[in-house]
Amino acid sequence: MGSFEITELGTESCPECGRQYRVRYQSLPLKDKDDARCVCGHVFRKWNETGMYMYQEISEDRE
Protein backbone atom coordinates (compact mmCIF):
# COMPACT_ATOMS: atom_id res chain seq x y z
CA MET A 1 0.00 0.00 0.00
CA GLY A 2 1.26 3.43 -0.85
CA SER A 3 0.91 6.53 1.15
CA PHE A 4 -2.47 8.10 1.66
CA GLU A 5 -2.93 10.97 -0.68
CA ILE A 6 -4.31 14.26 0.50
CA THR A 7 -6.24 16.37 -1.96
CA GLU A 8 -6.77 20.07 -1.43
CA LEU A 9 -10.38 21.00 -2.04
CA GLY A 10 -10.04 24.71 -1.43
CA THR A 11 -12.12 26.63 1.05
CA GLU A 12 -15.71 26.48 2.12
CA SER A 13 -17.63 28.90 4.26
CA CYS A 14 -20.43 28.04 6.62
CA PRO A 15 -23.82 29.34 5.43
CA GLU A 16 -24.97 29.65 9.04
CA CYS A 17 -22.18 31.55 10.75
CA GLY A 18 -19.79 32.54 7.95
CA ARG A 19 -16.70 30.89 9.34
CA GLN A 20 -14.21 29.85 6.68
CA TYR A 21 -12.71 26.41 6.48
CA ARG A 22 -9.88 24.89 4.54
CA VAL A 23 -11.05 21.56 3.14
CA ARG A 24 -8.88 18.58 2.39
CA TYR A 25 -9.67 15.01 1.45
CA GLN A 26 -7.54 12.08 2.52
CA SER A 27 -7.78 8.58 1.07
CA LEU A 28 -7.94 5.77 3.59
CA PRO A 29 -7.40 2.02 3.28
CA LEU A 30 -10.72 1.32 4.97
CA LYS A 31 -14.18 2.80 4.78
CA ASP A 32 -14.76 5.72 7.06
CA LYS A 33 -18.23 6.78 8.14
CA ASP A 34 -18.27 10.21 9.62
CA ASP A 35 -19.36 13.76 9.11
CA ALA A 36 -17.79 17.19 9.21
CA ARG A 37 -19.43 19.95 11.20
CA CYS A 38 -18.85 23.60 11.78
CA VAL A 39 -18.33 24.67 15.38
CA CYS A 40 -21.83 26.19 15.19
CA GLY A 41 -23.28 22.75 14.47
CA HIS A 42 -23.89 23.07 10.75
CA VAL A 43 -23.15 19.78 8.96
CA PHE A 44 -20.92 20.41 5.97
CA ARG A 45 -20.69 16.88 4.74
CA LYS A 46 -21.43 13.26 5.57
CA TRP A 47 -19.60 10.34 4.06
CA ASN A 48 -19.22 6.59 4.08
CA GLU A 49 -16.29 5.82 1.82
CA THR A 50 -12.59 5.02 1.72
CA GLY A 51 -11.52 8.47 2.62
CA MET A 52 -12.22 11.32 4.97
CA TYR A 53 -12.77 15.04 4.70
CA MET A 54 -10.85 17.37 6.93
CA TYR A 55 -12.20 20.79 7.72
CA GLN A 56 -9.78 23.21 9.34
CA GLU A 57 -11.02 26.58 10.43
CA ILE A 58 -9.16 29.49 8.90
CA SER A 59 -8.51 32.14 11.47
CA GLU A 60 -8.69 35.68 10.25
CA ASP A 61 -5.51 37.64 10.74
CA ARG A 62 -6.22 41.32 10.99
CA GLU A 63 -3.62 43.97 11.55
**Residue numbers of the site for Zn ion (CB under 5 A)?**
14, 16-17, 38, 40, 42
Q: How far is 35 from 27, CA to CA, in rounded Å?
A: 15
Q: Residue by residue, what is the 3-state secondary structure of 21-37?
A: EEEEEEEEEEEEEEEEE
Of 30 and 43, CB closest to Zn ion: 43
For residue 63, the minimal CB distance to Zn ion (Å) is 25
Q: How far is 18 from 12, CA to CA, in rounded Å?
A: 9
For residue 12, the minimal CB distance to Zn ion (Å) is 10
For residue 30, the minimal CB distance to Zn ion (Å) is 29
